[in-house]
Amino acid sequence: MGKTARFRDVFLAAYAAACLVILAGCVTVTQRQGVARTFKFPFLHDYSVENRVEFDWSDDWLALDSDVYHQRLAGPLSALAASVYGYRLRMDVETLRDMGFNETLMLRRYGAALDYGNPIWGRDQTGFTFAVKKVVVEGVLRDVVFVVVRGTFGRTEWLSNMNACNTWAKSEAKDRTDVPILHEGFSRAAECLMSALAAYVVSNSVDLSTAKFVVTGHSRGGAVANIVGAELDKPAVGSPFSAVDRRNVFVYAFAPPNVTLRAHGALRARVYDNIFNIVNPEDMVPRVPIALWHAGRHGHDLMLRSFDLLPFTGSWTDPAYVTMKDEFKSITGYEYWHTPLGTNSTVLLPAVLGAVAPSAADLYFLTPEQIADGNSTSVHSILEMLLYRCMDDARSREDAISLGGDVEKLSQTYSTVSSGESNPVFYSPDGRDFSRQPGMFNLPWRLSCMHATQTYIAWMKSAERHGPAAVYANWKEGGE
């Protein structure tokens, strides 16, 4: 055999071996992509104490059907939605960076970046974090865009929560029976966010036709996420997002208030079937705007189990409920106290609001009897006045406001720590003050606890162990 032939044979053998090595490497990479990594998602606890909770995540999960609820997605997204409350500690950045996102490509809008004096958006804005990366999903190299929306922060955004339809109410030509479809404060915040998102995807050369969008948020952030998801599903005429495939959009909103002021029936679930709203029925926030006004949300409402669905001994024996309570204590240091009457504890506010304002329009309009009595103050004006008197502006004390701080200021729900001599303060190793554990008869704290991100995260941890059917009362409506 000549030297040329030997060289050729050696070259071909080496080439074949190299191909096998590369192929084996590709198989290994593919296999590894399917294995979820465990992340310790950080989020800010009340009193500015940092907590961490473990969830798994794999980018391969974005190949799942977006119109089917997936617990493996809901869990980590509940923690990610909570992390943006700790934006000052860059908790969102830490988590997203660990998930493979480049920090230099993130867009975060909080603090001074939210100009509530903006002539276009005014106080109808909210904080958010955008992140983008390229990932091979379903054999295609795609852009993956995360949109994480922060919940209410400070008095200004609470006033936006109260903005059901201010502009319409101030207009001269208005029909009180024809209120706007969307809650103005939430929809304008979503519009502002979408404007920023449009610029963001252009600046990062995102291919919208194949891109995967993951949208999440808690409370006000959940309401904005709900509307953003609907806009990505059915873009308005001329929208820059017209190329988005709704099958590539995943929306998980936690404790979202209602976003519509007019019912549009089954359309909410059928058209927006990739939007999942996780709701604690003992939580007051998702009940407003109230049902009497025909308010609602886009997508599917998945109702968590409530205390009044269990026998009296159920809270001690139901495995999913017990796990949820254990998880709550694990991440907060506090015992979980449900509302004393279950869902009946949350009917008072809607009942009172419905009595003084039978429709959304009645928030702004005075009855003939009120006018005859010389009353010139609408229900909406009274509510705004209460907020101004009871709550600080975030700009004036931003460093002192934490998750739950607004609720604490409004209702004074937490007990005052006594002096060290009469009631010593005991701290856990991570600095949490257990002497502030509210008692079982502290109804305001228990009501605010029902809305806390920690409660929703604890339920998601329970669902991972026992399955969604064990934690959702209406699971048959929710998916597989």
Domain limits at 439? Answer: 39-416+435-478
pLDDT confidence of residue 345: 79
Q: What is the pLDDT of residues 413-426, one digit of tens each?
A: 333 332 233 333 33
Whole-number Å distance between alpha carbons of 338 and 312: 12
In the predicted model, is pLDDT for residue 100 greater than 50? yes
* Contact in structure between 121 and 217 (CB atoms under 8 Å): no
Whole-number Å distance between alpha carbons of 354 and 296: 15
In the predicted model, is pLDDT for residue 70 greater than 90? yes
Whole-number Å distance between alpha carbons of 222 and 78: 10
Kindly state the tokens that stand for 253: 């909103």
- Highest average pLDDT, of 220-234, 283-297, 327-341, 387-401, comes from 220-234
Q: Which of 66, 452, 45 is nearest to 285 (CA)?
A: 452
Question: Average pLDDT, stretch 241-268?
Answer: 88
pLDDT confidence of residue 370: 67
Domain membership flag for residue 198: yes
Total domains, the chain: 1
DSSP 89: G
Domain membership flag for residue 31: no
Average of per-residue pLDDT values in the chain:
80
Domain membership flag for residue 421: no
Domain membership flag for residue 46: yes
Q: Which of 6, 24, 28 is nearest to 16 (CA)?
A: 24
The pTM assigned to this predicted structure is 0.84
In the predicted model, is pLDDT for residue 402 greater than 80? no
* Contact in structure between 55 and 79 (CB atoms under 8 Å): yes
Q: Which residues contact 94 (CB under 8 A, 6 or more apart)?
A: 42
In the predicted model, is pLDDT for residue 438 greater than 60? no
Domain membership flag for residue 54: yes
Q: What is the pLDDT of residues 320-339, one digit of tens each?
A: 999 999 998 888 777 887 88
In the predicted model, is pLDDT for residue 404 greater than 70? no
Domain membership flag for residue 456: yes
Domain membership flag for residue 428: no
Q: What is the pLDDT of residues 155-210, one digit of tens each?
A: 889 899 999 999 999 887 778 788 899 999 999 999 999 999 999 999 999 999 99
Strands (E), 58-154: 107-109, 128-137, 140-149
Domain membership flag for residue 30: no
